[in-house]
Amino acid sequence: MILYPAIDLKDGNAVRLLRGDMDKATVFNEDPAAQARAFVEAGCEWLHLVDLNGAFAGEPVNAAPVEAILETCNVPAQLGGGIRDMATIETWVEKGLARVILGTVAVENPDLVREAAKAFPGKIAVGIDARNGMVATKGWAEETNVQVTDLARSFEDAGVAAIIYTDINRDGAMQGPNIEATADLARTVGIPVIASGGVSSIADLIALRDCGAALNGAISGRALYDGAIDLKEALTTLRE
């Protein structure tokens, strides 16, 4: 299972939010590219990037720090937040992004996801952010009446590379991931699932890994910044 260290970008800084609240942001590094390099030097094989301002604005806002990360790090990166049209997707792929995460647009314009997955094989992921089993959009600000499993299953034949499943209530709360919901999704959908939200210990990572091969990876942010998870120890454990 791959461990994806998270770099959430707000106003050019690497931050962590509590349950998606932009007013509850803790700045962990004013140089996101330096933070990315530190993760890579520790042995990370992927980076998970989120343009938080972009998620609310509906268009890229933190492009400069993302570009700096892509220029200085030699590992693949995935990015979500405010990517809602083909032109933006194409721009990021051309800049070297390994995987584009489509969230809000997956609900509002699922045909775009299918078009993008066909145009850029292996480079499109669907981000499903959930609160109490229902999908939330626009930076988690709006709740829908769409169920997580229904949305995920609707893309089984689209050719997307992964589903990134975030439990909003757990995100940044250091309370552990929603393992039951994550495992259920991984078992029922024929697309690799990456878990996000609440991963706060190596024990959490082991529990997710034990969900089976359908769970492709786990994203962790605050626990890495706070030191609750020793990154090198976690990477070693997951490779055993």
Marked catalytic residue, from 8, 167, 171, 204: 8
Residue 179 DSSP label: H
Distances (CA, A) of 34 to 70, 83, 148, 237: 12, 24, 35, 25
Buried b (16+ CB within 10 A) or exposed e, 112-138: bbbebbeebeebbbbbbbbbeeebbbb
Marked catalytic residue, from 11, 31, 129, 184: 129
Residue 102 β-bridge partners: 126
CB 177 within 8 A of CB 197: yes
Token pair in block for residue 173: 């709360």
Residue type, 33: A
Distance CA 164, CA 180 (A): 15
Distance between alpha carbon 142 and the CA centroid of its chain, in Å? 18
Decide: helix, strand or coil at residue 124: strand
The question of whether 129 is a catalytic residue gets the answer yes
Distance CA 215, CA 178 (A): 13
Supply the residues annotated as catalytic.
8, 129
